[in-house]
Amino acid sequence: MTGPENSTYGYVILLAGLGAIILLTAWLPMVLKELPLSLPIVCVTIGAVVFSIPDTPGAVLHPQKYPQITERFTEFVVIIALMGAGLKLDRSLNAKSWRGTGRLLLIAMPLTILILAALGYALLGLGVAGSLLLAAALAPTDPVLASDIQVGPPRQGLEDEVRFTLTSEAGLNDGLAFPFVNLALALAAAGTTEGWFVNWLTVDVLWKLGAGAGIGWLTGQLLGWLIFRLPNRSKLSRTGDGFVALGVTCLAYGLTEMAYGYGFIAVFVAALRIRASERDHRYHEKMHEFVEQLERLMMMILLVLFGGALVDGGLLRSLTWSAALFAILAIFLVRPVAAWVSLGAIERVEEKAVISFFGIRGVGSIYYIAYALNHGKFDQPDLLWSVVALIVLISIVIHGATVTPAMRYVDRRTARNNVEPSD
Model confidence pLDDT, tens digit, residues 188-227: 887 666 678 888 999 999 999 999 999 999 999 999 999 8
Which residues lie closer than 8 Å to 306 by C-beta, 6 or more apart?
43, 44, 47, 315, 366, 389, 392
Q: How large a percentage of the chain has pLDDT more than 90?
A: 44
Q: Which residues contact residue 372 at a Cβ distance below 8 angstroms, ignoring those fewer than 6 apart?
A: 133, 137, 181, 184, 185, 378
Cβ(264)–Cβ(211) under 8 Å? Answer: no
Amino acid at 163: R
Q: What is the pLDDT of residue 234?
A: 72
pLDDT of residue 53: 76
What are the DSSP calls for 116-151, one per residue?
A: HHHHHHHHS---HHHHHHHHHHHSSPPSSTTGGGS-
More confident position, 323 or 359: 323
Q: Which of 46-50, 93-97, 356-360, 364-368 has the lowest mean pLDDT?
A: 93-97
Length of the chain: 423
The per-residue pLDDT for 36 is 66
Specify whether the CB–CB gap between 352 and 344 falls below 8 A.
no
Residue 24: partners with Cβ closer than 8 Å, 6 or more residues away: 42, 46, 300
CA nearest to 189, candidates 179, 178, 200: 200
**Long-range contacts, 302-305 (Cβ 8 Å, 24+):** 302/73, 302/74, 302/77, 302/363, 303/40, 303/43, 303/44, 303/47, 303/396, 304/21, 304/43, 304/44, 304/46, 304/47, 304/50, 305/47, 305/61
Measured over the CA atoms of residue 377, residue 310, residue 176 and residue 102, the dihedral's sign is negative
- What is the pLDDT, as a whole number, of residue 25? 76
**Residue 371 exposure: Cα atoms within 13 Å on the Cβ side:** 23
Identify the structural domains of the chain with CATH numbers, from first to last: 63-147+164-302+315-417 (1.20.1530.20)
What is the pLDDT at residue 17? 76
Average pLDDT over residues 368-394: 94
Name the least confident of 97-106, 126-135, 151-160, 222-231. Answer: 151-160
Nearest to 40 by CA among 398, 354, 330, 359: 398
Whether residue 112 has pLDDT greater than 90? yes
Rounded Cα gap, residues 318 and 74, in angstroms: 22
pLDDT reported for residue 422: 44
| Rg of the chain on CA atoms, in Å | 22
Closest among 176, 170, 166 to 347, alpha carbons compared: 166
pLDDT at 74 over 90: yes
Between the CA of residue 334 and those of 113, 132, 182, 347, what are the distances in Å? 9, 15, 22, 19
CB-CB neighbours of 249 under 10 Å: 26
Burial of 413 from C-beta contacts in 10 A (0-12 / 13-18 / 19+): middle
Given pLDDT bands bounded at 50, 70 and 90, which one contains residue 268? Answer: very high
For the residues of 313-337, what is the DSSP string, one character each? S-TTTT--HHHHHHHHHIIIIIHHH
